[in-house]
Structure 1
Amino acid sequence: MPVFTPHTADTAPDAARPTLAAVSRKFGYLPAAVALMAESPALLTTFLTANAGFEAGSLDPVQREVVVLTVATRNECHVCVALHTAMLTRLGADAELVDALRAGTPLPDDRLEALRRFTLAVLEHRGDVPDELTRAFLAAGHQPRQALDVVLGVGVYTISTFANRLTGAPVDPPLAGYAWTPAG
């Protein structure tokens, strides 16, 4: 028997219903991950609010996707990898960049690679990033504000990746072409 219920607007807790309706309008369907997060209206609202803050930060859309896909592959969240691969594709990102992010290998763009390495350092060192890694991030043309926005992105997508893994969220049919399986 499944522990988590993929809610609908009719079955979700009252506090989550308006959020589910808004997400459904935005995507044209209700993503399974959101339907499962609805069990905890507080989690769902916190994730979406924090994500809106991340999107309003100093990183451009491709940079945000580098952070998200770095966290998603590191945390092995197949749902986030599929969704954010689709987003990068819609942004017109190079296939080589997308493939490298999905594989967790160095990126073809030096500035984005510095961002990926810094994101990994934030994760690996739990925020206590060694000075030389922070200096390398800044030397690649990033600003201190962007370092803090990386921390925000790591936090937001730790919530998402952990929730998706806990609930067993499946990849939605519209994203099936972007499915991902961790290497090794």
Structure 2
Amino acid sequence: MTITASPSHSTSPDPTAFPAHTVDSAPAAARPALRATGDRLGYLPSAVARMATSPQTLDGFLKLSGIFESTTLPQLDREVLILTIATRNDCHVCVAMHTAKLTAMGADPGLIEALRAQQPLTDSRLEALRAFTLEVLATAGAVTEPGLQAFLAQGYTGRNALEVVLGIGTYTLSTFANRLTGAPVDEQLMAFAPQ
């Protein structure tokens, strides 16, 4: 599947506006987060390095991401939601990163390919999550009653529905920031990058 930037997306932002910060060059308030991210991953992702231009944006994303990881949605479900948002928002960095994460988790390659191609999933529960996520996005939260009931019929709860909103907010922030800053896919993730 080929993911291409929409015509309004600038792939070459002014590099002085969004530099790829190092721990030393970043604003002081962003340095602890950059150091911790680099230590945890073994490298500093370019998306994080560029987001550090605004320490508050970086801090907000990292905190929200941690909170989303603590929800009652299972890890596979969270990754399905994230990759759904990443492909919808055309964020090549998030597509690569979360394809890599799903692959490391041992997720079904067919599931990953369907998510990357923005196609329905064969797993009815995960498809209900994907469809609900897309409806929440399309309606700005004004989901139809049938849309909500289809989600709940797969064993999800009202709590899960609100956790979907949290995931959407978290990964809308990162996908928009990555597109705005023109963050490239890191070498470590190149094998998972959209073609």
Does TM-score exceed 0.5, indicating one fold?
yes
Matched, 1:97 2:111: yes
Specify which of 22, 27, 41 is matched with residue 13 of structure 1: 27
Query: 2:172, 2:22 → 1: CA distance?
Result: 24
Matched, 1:121 2:135: yes
Specify which of 160, 167, 184 is matched with residue 181 of structure 2: 167
Specify which of 42, 45, 60 is matched with residue 31 of structure 1: 45
TM-score calculated relative to the size of structure 2 = 0.92
1:131-169 superposed Cα distances (whole Å, 9 cap, x missing partner):
110000000111111110000000000000000000000
* 5+ residue gaps, structure 2: 1-13
Hey, what does 1:149 align to over in structure 2? 163
TM-score calculated relative to the size of structure 1 = 0.97
Query: 1:60, 1:87 → 2: CA distance?
Result: 14
Query: 2:99, 2:145 → 1: CA distance?
Result: 31
2:25 maps to amino acid: T
1:108 maps to amino acid: T
Hey, what does 1:51 align to over in structure 2? 65
Query: 1:102, 1:150 → 2: CA distance?
Result: 19
State the 4+ residue runs in structure 1 displaced beyond 2 angstroms.
none
Number of residues of Structure 1 aligned to a counterpart in Structure 2: 181
Q: Of Structure 1 and Structure 2, which has the larger fraction of its residues in helix? A: 1
Query: 2:105, 2:142 → 1: CA distance?
Result: 32
2:87 maps to amino acid: T
SS state of the match for residue 42, structure 1?
helix
Query: 1:58, 1:124 → 2: CA distance?
Result: 24
Task: Quote how far apart the aligned CAs of 1:179 are.
Answer: 0.6
Query: 2:160, 2:102 → 1: CA distance?
Result: 19
1:100 maps to amino acid: A
Equivalent residues in 2 for 1:80-91, closer than 5 Å: 80-91=94-105
Query: 1:111, 1:141 → 2: CA distance?
Result: 8
The structure with higher relative contact order (CA 8 Å, sep 6+) is 2
Query: 1:140, 1:151 → 2: CA distance?
Result: 18
Query: 2:129, 2:21 → 1: CA distance?
Result: 36
Query: 1:126, 1:26 → 2: CA distance?
Result: 34
1:50-96 superposed Cα distances (whole Å, 9 cap, x missing partner):
01010000111100001101111000000000000000011110000
Hey, what does 1:179 align to over in structure 2? 193
Task: Quote how far apart the aligned CAs of 1:113 are.
Answer: 0.2
Query: 1:180, 1:144 → 2: CA distance?
Result: 34
2:127 maps to amino acid: E
Question: Identity of paired residues, percent?
Answer: 57
